[in-house]
Structure 1
Amino acid sequence: MSTLSIPANRGATMPDTEAMGKDQESQSSWLEKHQIDPNSRIRLQKLSHMRYQHPNLDEIHQFMLDFGLRVAHKTEGEVWYTGYGPDQYVYYARKGDKKFLGGVYEAASQEDFDRAAHLPNAGPVQELKDAPGGGRLVTITDPEGFPFNVIHGQEAVDMSQKQPAMDKVVLNFPSEKPRVRQFNRFEHGPAAVYKLGHFGLCTQQFESQLNFYTSTFNIIPTDFVYVEVDGHRTPVTVFMHLDLGTEPVDHHSFFLSAHPKAAHVHHSSFEVHDFDAQQLGHQWLVEKGYRPAWGVGRHVLGSQIFDYWWDVSGNMVEHYADGDLVNSETPIGYVPAGEDSLAVWGPKLPAEFLA
């Protein structure tokens, strides 16, 4: 019988420069290497909402309510769904054949919106007369044919009309127990969505797509995932964030993943309050009979606790909590591809997730 002990698992919170290891480079170095002038790009301020077309609005409507969204406005053929955060809405659904209508970013200024509207691959400017908060939207077609939207002029949200902020649950640890004579209690229901966090595309034109988004807009890589081919690194996934200087932003609001067989939207992801809210939301969706895609688990890159689902139209959507924040001083990391790069813990990755 061995007397050797087995090292226990552990977790730690550490600086980005340390967590990324030695395989990293500065954002300024990457931009210079790719001959991108940071000041020439169209500036986007934040990720606004997703746009999808669904064959059956009644079915997707019920799913969205069970997923934790609320109705901001509804017409006969359109629905705008909101969370409890500072956005007019985070999801737009329109009746019609199943179709991805693109993610939407808010332009940092009228000048930036006008520059987006004058791109060679931009469509006509739409006046969002029926949408909560109004505003104007332009749809740009990227090199692979995906729609990419920019919005501006939306009215600010009256937060007094929003759902109150969620309470913070106090946690006790073995050597630190602040919760004395205070008990944690929960109510069952959907996991209330706070905001849209990110979305991503599977692409057959990885390099041209990467160049288009990072040179046209203030979108910059946070992490590259690569495979080795004949001794050379080939990126297969890139997670990207908005470059807002030293202002903290989500680890990624957009990603690209190389896919040899087909180009399609992969998923869109929505932030929820915390782990308990997420688990209760998972339980709610299971009880309602919806089909899980992958989760619950914790990602490596971005650190988010994740929970992926298939909506009733066959689109993948995600709840996430506890994601990393970065800024212009965060280095770009390089990580070899493999299941170890996707999750620290959680269920085994289903093949369908990568299809």
Structure 2
Amino acid sequence: MSPEIPAPPGPLQSAHSGLHSEHGARRGEHPGRAANPVIKVRDLAWLSFEKPDLDRAERFARDFGLTVATRTRDELRLRGTLEGTDAIVIRRGAVSRFVGPVFQADDHADLERLARHTGARVRPLGPGQPGAVVDLTDPTGVPVGVVYGAQSYDALPEQVALPLNTGTRPARINAAQRPAREPARVQRLGHLVLQTPRFAAALDWYVEALGMIVSDFLFLPGQRDLGPTMAFLRCDRGTTPADHHTLAMHLSPGRGYVHSAYQVTDLDAIAAGGEYLAERGYRRTWGIGRHIQGSQLFDYWRDPDRLMVEHFADGDLFDCTVEPGWAPMTASGLAQWGPPVTRDFLGTAPSPARLREAFQALRAADTELTTSRLLALLKAMSS
């Protein structure tokens, strides 16, 4: 769970404050929050997947640094070291696929309010499990759960951050630094990134129904007047800081999962854990580097079913007073430092499947994608 750091209440802070972003909103642009949302979710609970080979999924999960909470023939539940719920629930299925996210509500009354507003119902979470859930579907077609009262695990021993000698403040004397070559111990699920050809509709749904607020917007160069094409959304926890983004989404021909991210202790955990993964034959997608929006140290990998996952550390924490920043969407604007972004990460490698996906998205009745926006996206991702 996210650390709860006291923060004083105050007015909305300009996007220029502390170099959060060079630019704030212009008059009439999306405010990045709803005046009266139905509820305000407090965090992600877990992500649901289906996979045909749970043994292989478990091996990768352990190598990636997740902890097995429970395992049956048809279900694998994974957690981090921090106190909290499951981080990932994998059920046996015919193919490997992302099912959807489950968010945490603050109170059971939030579930009832959400059910009344959407016409859904509050149901028990499952046989033998505490808690209740409301099942929804976002405008992209992604199943979204909102849960309250789910099982929470006690904290496990942490991977201790290494003491660093920094300038005039040495923390390590007469001792060498030797990070263990072991899995980077995942502390918690951090965020999910989705793609959608219905970006504006999906953005408004998460803002209005779940009470999420935007930390940063990205827009296509030369097309700012058409609105943003990517948003980084955080949970509105009032004066308690929350992750810069718990959910990010961007306009795309594709629908659904892009990647999910898991917090680890520090840069050494990322790097040594990456060496451990590489030695076992897994393929790095992009990294190691530091992002701009969110500031995270990052390292991206593919699991055996080619789903992308991220180790991250040292991300930004914002309270409710920070306004959205606005910045152009470019490939070079994805990181402050690190190796050049890869085609694998961007998803821009040409293939018959991607061409078919783009063609179908342009023809769909509910799409917000146009030919000019698609060409601008491709140009931005090569800039």
CA contact 2:48–2:98 (8 Å) conserved in 1: yes
**TM-fit CA distance, 1:200:** 1.4
1: CA distance, partners of 2:330 / 2:85: 38
Q: Which runs of 4+ in 1 moved over 6 A?
A: none
Task: Find the residue that maps to 2:273 and give its secondary structure.
Answer: helix
Specify which of 63, 73, 76 is matched with residue 73 of structure 2.
76
- The one-letter code of the counterpart of 2:102 is V
Aligned residue number for residue 24 of structure 2: 24
Specify which of 104, 107, 110 is matched with residue 106 of structure 1.
104
Aligned residue number for residue 337 of structure 2: 345
Aligned residue number for residue 8 of structure 1: none
2: CA distance, partners of 1:272 / 1:232: 38
CA contact 1:47–1:198 (8 Å) conserved in 2: yes
Specify which of 148, 160, 165 is matched with residue 167 of structure 1.
160
Task: Find the residue that maps to 1:137 and give its secondary structure.
Answer: strand
CA contact 2:16–2:22 (8 Å) conserved in 1: no
Task: Find the residue that maps to 1:303 and give its secondary structure.
Answer: coil
**TM-fit CA distance, 1:219:** 0.3
CA deviations 1:286-306 (Å, max 9, x no partner) are 011112211111101111011
2: CA distance, partners of 1:25 / 1:149: 31
CA contact 1:122–1:141 (8 Å) conserved in 2: no
1: CA distance, partners of 2:25 / 2:242: 19
Q: In percent, how many aligned pairs have the same letter? A: 32
CA deviations 1:200-253 (Å, max 9, x no partner) are 110101111111110111201000111134673531211010011111110000
Task: Find the residue that maps to 2:42 and give its secondary structure.
Answer: strand
CA contact 2:219–2:227 (8 Å) conserved in 1: yes
Aligned residue number for residue 137 of structure 2: 141
- The one-letter code of the counterpart of 1:141 is T
Aligned residue number for residue 212 of structure 2: 219
1:324 matches 2:316: yes
* Paired residues, number: 331
Cα pair distance change 1:190/1:34, threshold 3 Å: closer
Residue ranges of structure 1 left out of the alignment (5+ in a row): 1-14
1:152 matches 2:136: no
Task: Find the residue that maps to 1:183 and give its secondary structure.
Answer: coil
Task: Find the residue that maps to 1:235 and give its secondary structure.
Answer: coil
Residue ranges of structure 2 left out of the alignment (5+ in a row): 1-14, 348-383
- The one-letter code of the counterpart of 1:107 is A
Aligned residue number for residue 48 of structure 1: 45
Q: Could you tell me the TM-score, scaled by structure 2's length?
A: 0.81
Aligned residue number for residue 3 of structure 1: none
Specify which of 242, 261, 284 is matched with residue 235 of structure 2.
242
1:92 matches 2:92: no
Q: Could you tell me the TM-score, scaled by structure 1's length?
A: 0.87
1:196 matches 2:186: no
CA contact 1:228–1:234 (8 Å) conserved in 2: no
Cα pair distance change 1:73/1:108, threshold 3 Å: same
1: CA distance, partners of 2:193 / 2:76: 22
Instruction: Indicate the RMSD between aligned Cα atoms, in angstroms.
Output: 2.3
2: CA distance, partners of 1:320 / 1:21: 21
- The one-letter code of the counterpart of 1:60 is A
CA deviations 1:163-221 (Å, max 9, x no partner) are x1332321112333232223333222111100000001101011111111101112010
1: CA distance, partners of 2:321 / 2:224: 30
- The one-letter code of the counterpart of 2:304 is V
**TM-fit CA distance, 1:74:** 1.0
2: CA distance, partners of 1:306 / 1:268: 12
CA deviations 1:254-287 (Å, max 9, x no partner) are 011110x221211111000110011111001101
Aligned residue number for residue 7 of structure 1: none
Aligned residue number for residue 256 of structure 1: 249
Task: Find the residue that maps to 1:125 and give its secondary structure.
Answer: strand
- The one-letter code of the counterpart of 2:201 is S
2: CA distance, partners of 1:318 / 1:194: 13
1: CA distance, partners of 2:281 / 2:332: 30
CA contact 1:128–1:137 (8 Å) conserved in 2: no
**TM-fit CA distance, 1:350:** 1.2
- The one-letter code of the counterpart of 2:298 is F
- The one-letter code of the counterpart of 2:269 is A
CA contact 2:33–2:211 (8 Å) conserved in 1: no
CA contact 2:217–2:228 (8 Å) conserved in 1: yes
1:37 matches 2:35: yes
